[in-house]
Amino acid sequence: MDYHHVVEAAGTVALALVFYSYTWRWFDPVESPRRARLRPVVNGAAFGLLTVVLMTSRIQVAEGRWVDARAVPLALITLMEGPVAGAIAGAIAVARRLWLGGGGAIAGALGIAAVVAVAAAVRVWAKREGGVSIRHSMALAVAVYAVTWASFLVLGARGAAMFVPVWLPVLVLDVVGIGLVARLFSDVVAGRAAEAARRDAAQLRAVTLLARAAAHEINNPLTSVLGGLGLVIEKLPPGTEEAKWIERAREGGERIRDIVARMNRITQLEEAPQIGSLPPILDIKKSSEPPAPRGPRSPAAGPRGSAPS
């Protein structure tokens, strides 16, 4: 085996990991939910080009025997970003394989499509169980290996004879490149989620401290105002115009007291719907309600529950 080729492939995948981590910064769902929708598209295109590079930069495992790591980026990006990114990356790789032509073009294109399909299926499985674990990534590695084997068998006896000498290098590529590297990609997502959680916690603490201080400062004079209004209304004849105005003032004071009570119960940050060009404001009513129970975590969920495609 030519280990220079192995190092080149490993370096390419490492650069892809760095690029993937930066896309979570460039397309932060907290800063811009609309822009975050572009992350699967950008990653799909980037990993599709990476697949083409790995198809070209083959690894020599013996004299006249070559393999490539095309399945690795396809499986990884579909598992982490979803079927949209996988379909884009797969389409680029299929176009490249069909453009090269040859007797194995159809089998190669079918193999690429099947890799994306099994990765999408494993993603659904991982999502139901709360996130990508080593069990899911290793299962995907084995499934991709089976798909690669099947794509050779499409060619019949000739394909089987071609696969026999390279079965072990292909297995190692899939287990290491998918089974283990997927954990690194999961760590990127988990790190961004943890960072977002810390940021949200800091924002919530700042808001609650300010709200409680304001509530305390408002509540003291409010108590005096409501008490004074109560004494005044007792001295007015019922049904008079003055008594009606005092009663409306008391009702307004009670609404303020309810708002102050909600300010002391803020447990989450919910924005009110934005009106025109006005800056966003806190919805105190929703922010003081008990948080709704959350479902299982997506395997590549972003901050604030930004679900990937």
The pLDDT value recorded for residue 304 is: 38
The pLDDT value recorded for residue 14 is: 87
The pLDDT value recorded for residue 288 is: 79
Helix (H, G, I), strand (E, B) or coil at 59: strand
pLDDT tens figures, 224-260? 888 888 888 788 888 788 888 888 888 888 888 888 8
Q: Which fold has domain 3-197?
A: Arp2/3 complex 21 kDa subunit ARPC3 (1.10.1760)
CA dist., res. 51 & res. 54, Å (int)? 5
The pLDDT value recorded for residue 297 is: 46
CA dist., res. 273 & res. 257, Å (int)? 24
The pLDDT value recorded for residue 308 is: 39
The pTM is what? Answer: 0.69
pLDDT tens figures, 274-309? 777 777 777 777 877 876 655 444 444 443 333 333
Contacts 24+ apart (CB under 8 A), 26-35: 28/302, 28/303, 29/302, 29/303, 29/304, 29/306, 30/196, 30/199, 30/303, 30/304, 30/306, 33/306
Per-residue confidence at 128, pLDDT binned at 50, 70, 90? very high
Nearest to 185 by CA among 130, 133, 121, 126: 133
Answer whether CATH 3.90.550 is correct for domain 200-292: no
Domain residue spans of the chain: 3-197, 200-292
Would the pLDDT of 160 be above 80? yes
Other beta carbons less than 10 A from residue 35's beta carbon: 12
Per-residue confidence at 74, pLDDT binned at 50, 70, 90? very high
The mean pLDDT of the chain is 84
Would the pLDDT of 195 be above 80? no
Would the pLDDT of 136 be above 60? yes
Higher pLDDT, 287 or 148: 148
Helix (H, G, I), strand (E, B) or coil at 67: strand
pLDDT tens figures, 78-124? 999 999 999 999 999 999 999 998 888 999 999 999 999 999 999 99
